[in-house]
Amino acid sequence: MAVIEINGLQKSYRTHKALDSVTLTVERGEIFGILGPNGAGKTTVVECASGLRKPDGGTLRVLGMDPRTRRHELLQRIGAQLQEAALPDAIKVGEALRMYASFYDKPADWRALMQEWGLAEKKRARFAGLSGGWKQRLFIALALVGNPEVVFLDELTTGLDPAARRLTWGLIRDMRDRGVTVVLVTHFMDEAEALCDRIAVIDQGRVVHEGSPGELIDRSHAGSLEDAYFTLIERTV
Ligand SMILES: Nc1ncnc2c1ncn2[C@@H]1O[C@H](COP(=O)(O)OP(=O)(O)OP(=O)(O)O)[C@@H](O)[C@H]1O
Ligand SMILES: [Mg+2]
């Protein structure tokens, strides 16, 4: 069953066409990767699908709902870790988790999430004093605090140390195994190859390739997703 259906999605910022016509489908319970060069439109797709930006055209359904008209209902059932998220400097880790949990009708146990993400030792630390990687961990926990059915993770592992990155991979697989659908934007090809069931490569506001990592590798006669990516992108520019 499709949980995200995007058809001919368009979005312009003033005169710049960020999304030309994006069409893609994400099935329930999969880890769906979105890859593509800087400025390709990946974050814009995620922001439109999570109700944070209004597209100019095309159709969009997430869990059967149009984010343009049923935003509030949708926000109760999705989670998002966004590329440029921020919190007030003075808020403490524990307070942020408790506050986010209060936004949801059926929240997860925020204390358990804090433990799971290794944040318990930082419970009383203020946001401004956290290192980049600790901020990332907090944003991941915040994305999950509403017990979401779909999670959008935009460059989740950027800034994490290698151990935290591997830990995060395990937790993303756990999410999928619990039936959560994960949309993962990443620039790390090893990460996409290891985690994603299917991938869409976006370039200049369009999906230019779609398939499982294995299919993309076979299609380009490459040895790895990284090699495949360069071959495929080179062909389209
Ligand atoms: N708020 C905005 N105002 C104007 N232009 C924007 C805005 N947000 C994005 N853009 C432009 O839209 C295009 C797509 O941006 P987007 O952030 O979706 O790309 P991306 O694929 O996520 O890139 P990155 O890999 O660098 O995160 C870019 O050309 C960008 O400059
Ligand atoms: Mg982006």
Q: In the prediction, which pLDDT does 164 show?
A: 83
Ligand in closest contact with the CA of 37: 1
Question: How many C-alpha atoms does 224 have within 13 Å on its Cβ side?
Answer: 8
Q: Which domains are present in the chain?
A: 30-43+80-236 (3.40.50.300)
Ligand 1, CB within 6 Å, residue ranges: 13, 16, 18, 36, 38-44, 83
Comparing 222 with 97, the larger pLDDT belongs to 97
- Rounded percentage of the chain residues whose pLDDT exceeds 70: 98
Q: In the prediction, which pLDDT does 235 show?
A: 58
Which residue, judged by its Cα, is nearest atom 11 of ligand 1?
A: 18
Comparing 58 with 232, the larger pLDDT belongs to 58
Per residue in 37-73, pLDDT (tens digit) is 999 999 999 999 999 999 999 999 999 999 999 999 9
Per residue in 197-207, pLDDT (tens digit) is 999 999 999 99
Per residue in 109-142, pLDDT (tens digit) is 999 999 988 899 999 999 999 988 888 889 889 9
Distance in Å, CA 25 to ligand 1 centroid: 21
